[in-house]
Amino acid sequence: AIVLVGGWVAASALVSLALVAPGGRLADMLAVAAAVGLGLALTRGAGTQAGAGGNDPLPALLAPLCCLAAGVITFRIAGTLLQGAERLARRGPALTRLALIGLARAPAAPSLAIAFLAVSVGLGGFALAYRATLLRGTADQAANQVPLDAIVAPGADFTTPLELAPAASWRALSGGRVLPVRRTEATYPSGGGTVTVPALGVPASGLILIHGWRNSDGSASLPALARRLEPTGPARTPGPLLEPGARWLAVRASAPGVSVSLTADLRDRSGAIRQLALGTAGAHPAVLSARIPPGTWELEALELDELTGLAITNGHQNGENLAPATQASTNVALGPIEALDGARRPVMRVPIGAWRAVGSASAPARSGSSAIVGFAATGQPGLVRPPQPSDVHRIPVLVDPQTAASAGPGGLLSLTVDQLPVAARVVGVLKRFPALGSGAGGFVIADEATLAGALDAQLPGQGRADELWIATDHPQGLRAALAAGPLSQLSATFRADVQRSLRSAPIARGLLGTLLAAAGLAAALAVLGLVVSLLGAARDERVQQDLEAQGVGPRGLRAELQMRLALAGVLGVLIGLGIAVALTGLAVATVQAAATLAAPSPPLVTVVPWGELAAFGLVAIVALIGASWLIALSLDWHWPARRVPRPSLERVPAR
């Protein structure tokens, strides 16, 4: 910031000294030198910033160099502009015409004032653009960490938000949208090995709520990408809903080769999974049963596991045997499944002949309400469940360019998520995605419900969301709920807090304050430069003498001076605002050149603060008009003006 402000002051001083120098060659030479330096800085800026971390001081002088060249150019064209304005105003009001004649008659001093004013306003406007770019950068960095207004994640004991309160309660607390998010990792084959990247399951309908998103971040607009993630049909096929009067769940089962533990996976209305141990299937057919807990339940699947002792024995044998691993296997006869009332009378029968077997269970031999399932003791459970969409459809995903390059024809990608195979298809490529660590080498983004359906189809409950992204206009209630009671064990991050922390950092706070001070100083210098140039030693006193000779009194002289100052000031401010807008394109390069700032993520974007620039220009114009009015009012118009010698016009007597 010190380099920038010092460069701005030096540029203003050089413009003033060069323009008042006789001949004007010094000004032209400085303009050429500034243009050469500007071109060198622009060509070197990107490479030095990326390679040297912004240690090259030349990019920091982009704005001063540009202003130096612009000041000289303004000085050269100001006289022409004043003369053209004088010709256009010949049929206008007399006061305006007199003021323009006074400016165009001797344009050196007015041109100097306009050039100095334009440089000062341009630098002040650039300071505002610099500040707006920094503020936008902090907002984007905060949104990159917290995409909505808050993230609520598990605390130290890994209890998830949805385990402590249902989604409806979170919506009531926040008064806004609540997005369930599944955060995990995905592995895919690449070359001769595998690559593991972060994976997120985010509701596709909630992507449009993300803050700080840029169209350049993706291969399509965010709404279009969200539509591509949405499943074409239901993300999950519900299992049979147990009758309200059911009190027991029973299944006839047998496993002649190896004893198999049988568990029923029940899903409640919130999506939580409750495991119901039915018993062990042995060599002889038997009815295994367990009491159904109170509530409304959906039968998600039947889970087959090897007994604990067998798993330990197989583990020891496989660990000590150099030969390929040995596995025990058997055929498990299942069905029918019945729900019984309190008196153990059947109230519903669940046919499983059309169900699918996955995991350690192989495809069943269907026979109506029963099935014979192959089971191998691999250490992983087998699952018998209703058919799911993920059995036949790949889940659409958004990925980074590197992951997209590893996809097969048609964007097909074989993922392993939580050690479970997931068939995916790339539907979009993103440069970045929020809420991921800066060191992530890639990422996979899927619709939360679709990803959950694919995971639950292989291990019920595995797809349950483990964090919440919350959008709220009233975070006070959410903060209060998270500060006390059982929800206090959760981890919460608010985007406003992150943004406030970034802006209140000592370096950022000092830099923003310096920029505001620089803008104010530029406005003050603009007023001072205009007054000194038009009323100081450089002013042309013949204008006042001619007006006095034509009978213009003190009041008219005062009004003419006020109009002259105002016209020069307005022209200088307008040119300065144009310079400021042109300089905004250099704001990012200058910010990145500042050695006090680390490379932000996401990268900075140029911000043109149109509202602030308009207000700054209006304040400058009002200040100039006010200063000219006060100065003209305070001058003593009755003193005899210092006369400039003129050739005598007296008639010579004839001889």
Q: Count the domains in the chain.
A: 3
**What dihedral angle (degrees, nearest 10) is formed by the CA atoms of 276, 279, 283, 286?**
-90
Q: Report which DSSP code applies to 246.
A: -
Q: Structure pTM?
A: 0.77
The band of 30, judged by pLDDT with boundaries at 50, 70 and 90, is low
Residue 109 in any domain: the answer is yes
The band of 546, judged by pLDDT with boundaries at 50, 70 and 90, is low
Clarify whether residues 134 and 83 are in a common domain.
Answer: yes
Clarify whether residues 523 and 624 are in a common domain.
Answer: yes
Tell me which of 645 and 526 has the higher pLDDT. Answer: 526
Residue 198 in any domain: the answer is yes
Q: What is the pLDDT of residue 652?
A: 43
pLDDT digit string, tens, across residues 607-643: 888 998 999 889 888 887 887 777 767 665 544 444 4
The band of 188, judged by pLDDT with boundaries at 50, 70 and 90, is very high
Clarify whether residues 524 and 586 are in a common domain.
Answer: yes
Considering only CA atoms, give the Rg of the chain: 39
Q: How large is the average pLDDT for residues 567-589?
A: 80
Residue 36 in any domain: the answer is no
Q: How large is the average pLDDT for residues 391-417?
A: 95
Q: What is the DSSP string of 405-421?
A: HT--GGGEEEEEETTEE
Q: What is the pLDDT of residue 642?
A: 47
Residue 278 in any domain: the answer is yes
pLDDT digit string, tens, across residues 481-505: 999 889 999 999 999 999 998 887 6
Residue 8 in any domain: the answer is no
Tell me which of 92 and 53 has the higher pLDDT. Answer: 92
Q: What is the pLDDT of residue 540?
A: 53
C-alpha–C-alpha distance, residues 125 and 584, integer Å: 8
CA 547 to chain CA mean position, Å: 61
Q: Is the pLDDT of residue 651 over 50?
A: no
Tell me which of 590 and 357 has the higher pLDDT. Answer: 357
Q: Is the pLDDT of residue 294 over 90?
A: yes
Clarify whether residues 272 and 369 are in a common domain.
Answer: yes
Mean of per-residue pLDDT scores for the chain = 80
Clarify whether residues 289 and 401 are in a common domain.
Answer: no
For residue 629, the enclosing domain spans 78-144+502-634
Residue 518 in any domain: the answer is yes
Q: How large is the average pLDDT for residues 403-422?
A: 94
Residue 336's SS3 state is strand
User: Percentage of the chain surpassing pLDDT 90?
Assistant: 43
pLDDT digit string, tens, across residues 449-473: 999 999 999 999 999 999 999 999 8
Residue 18's SS3 state is helix
Q: Which of 47-51, 109-113, 394-398, 537-541 has the lowest mean pLDDT?
A: 47-51
Residue 157 in any domain: the answer is no
Clarify whether residues 400 and 346 are in a common domain.
Answer: no
Residue 349 near residue 369, CB atoms below 8 Å: yes
Clarify whether residues 553 and 442 are in a common domain.
Answer: no
Residue 290 in any domain: the answer is yes
Clarify whether residues 317 and 404 are in a common domain.
Answer: no
Q: In the numeric block, which tokens belong to residue 392?
A: 């036949």
Clarify whether residues 253 and 276 are in a common domain.
Answer: yes
Distances in whole angstroms, Cα of residue 165 to Cα of each of 147, 160, 481:
22, 9, 11
pLDDT digit string, tens, across residues 235-263: 999 999 999 999 999 999 999 988 999 99
Clarify whether residues 379 and 407 are in a common domain.
Answer: no
Domain ends where: 367, 387, 407? 387
Clarify whether residues 224 and 355 are in a common domain.
Answer: no
Q: Is the pLDDT of residue 353 over 50?
A: yes
Clarify whether residues 103 and 215 are in a common domain.
Answer: no
Token pair 């809903």: residue = 241
Q: What is the pLDDT of residue 537?
A: 42
Q: How large is the average pLDDT for residues 5-24?
A: 54
